[in-house]
Each structure stands twice: as C-alpha cells, then as structure tokens.
Amino acid sequence: MFDPTDVEWAIATRVQGDKDVIIIPGARAKPLDPSLPVTPPGVVPTGAKVGIDATIGEGIPPERFERIAYAYAERAKIADYVKGKADAAPKAAGHDEKHAAQLAGRILKLIEAEPKYYQEIAEHFGEYEFQAVARALGKLHADEKLWQDARGRICLKGSRFAAKPPKPGDEVTQ
C-alpha cells in the first residue's frame, strides 16, 4: 500500500491505539533528524521509532473493512460551487407519515433484491430531500424491518442476506 489516502484509511479503520501502536525507544536514528538532541561527532544518535499495525486481524472477515463511498461525492466538487454551480431543488416528499411510508416502501423494494449501503440508497433516491430519505429509513428501523448483511450493507431483516446475530455465549472476534 503506497497511496497516502489508502494508508490513512487503513489507520483510521483498523488501528486500536492501545494494541496496534508500538513505540521503540533508543533506536538508531539518522543524524539529519532535526528533532534529535545534538550529539558529539562520531556518536550515533538514537531516538524513538513508532510502528503502526494497520493490518486486518486474523479471523476477521476482510469484508468488514471494505471501503465505503460517500453519497454524492462524485457530484459535489467545491470548485464547481465556487464558480456558481447551483443544485436543482430536491423533491420534497412531505413531512407526514403517509409520504414517509410510501418512500419506505420504495426503499424496501430496492433492497429486496440486493443489500445496499446507505450511500447507494441516498444516490438512488437523490431526487428527494435528505430528510425525506432519512425519515423513511427511520420508519423502517422503527418498524424493525431493516438489518445488515455481513459487509454492513442495509438489507431486510430475516432475508437470505441478513447477517446472523451472535447467540448468547458466542465469542465475538474484534
């Protein structure tokens, strides 16, 4: 992994500071490091080194660390807005239970065939206000119709995609 963004993502999503950060004091250092104390000529400087283990732990499914995308990330470019771009007004879905239930039904149909990440649902219903989609998803949660698959995508509770919750006494690997 050589892309700095990928390295930052791995550190942000896979590192527990108390377990995965290693500090080695008194390690050989480069004389050009300006943070080291001045040493007499011929003396090898030493300093602390830091190691970070951002690998996926043994026994943890790699799918748990699948990189997510953000809704509208490809459409929202700051430079476009600085130049005066304006978004079309989103469709208001109404603020009542009837409209939330209608949109919730459409969301259920979307995820019946295949689980979706929130970002995919938001993009699919991008013509609606954010609040309308959030309200519909909230209704589905309150009605206990939603679950997640093993990768963290939203699916129907009890569907063939649904991750199985651990049973009491089962060991949970983190």
CATH number at residue 89: 1.10.10
Domain membership of residue 70 (yes or no) is yes
- 78 and 38 in a single domain? The answer is no
The whole-number pLDDT of residue 155 equals: 94
- 38 and 79 in a single domain? The answer is no
- 34 and 80 in a single domain? The answer is no
The domain total for the chain is 2
The whole-number pLDDT of residue 1 equals: 65
- 13 and 93 in a single domain? The answer is no
Domain membership of residue 166 (yes or no) is no
Average pLDDT, the chain: 84
Q: Evaluate if residue 5 carries a pLDDT over 50.
A: yes
The whole-angstrom separation of Cα 174 and Cα 171 is 10
Q: Evaluate if residue 134 carries a pLDDT over 80.
A: yes
Domain membership of residue 148 (yes or no) is yes
- 31 and 98 in a single domain? The answer is no
Q: Evaluate if residue 50 carries a pLDDT over 90.
A: yes
Domain membership of residue 84 (yes or no) is yes
State what percent of residues in the chain have pLDDT above 90. 38
- 97 and 43 in a single domain? The answer is no
- 152 and 117 in a single domain? The answer is yes
- 90 and 142 in a single domain? The answer is yes
Q: Evaluate if residue 129 carries a pLDDT over 80.
A: yes
The alpha helices in 83-159, defined as continuous H runs, are: 97-113, 118-124, 130-142
pTM > 0.75: yes or no: no
- 74 and 40 in a single domain? The answer is no
The whole-number pLDDT of residue 109 equals: 96
Question: Quick one: which of 173, 150, 163 has its CA closest to 59?
Answer: 173
- Residue 73: give the domain boundaries: 62-156
The whole-number pLDDT of residue 74 equals: 67
The whole-number pLDDT of residue 174 equals: 46
- 66 and 130 in a single domain? The answer is yes
The whole-number pLDDT of residue 79 equals: 78
Domain membership of residue 164 (yes or no) is no
Residue 48 CA, chain-centre distance (Å), reads 32
Are the CB atoms for 7 and 1 separated by under 8 Å? Answer: yes
Domain membership of residue 171 (yes or no) is no
- 68 and 114 in a single domain? The answer is yes
- 94 and 75 in a single domain? The answer is yes
Domain membership of residue 20 (yes or no) is yes
Domain membership of residue 167 (yes or no) is no
Range 67-82 average pLDDT: 71
The whole-number pLDDT of residue 91 equals: 62
Least confident of 100-104, 105-109, 126-130, 141-145: 126-130
Least confident of 1-5, 65-69, 79-83: 65-69
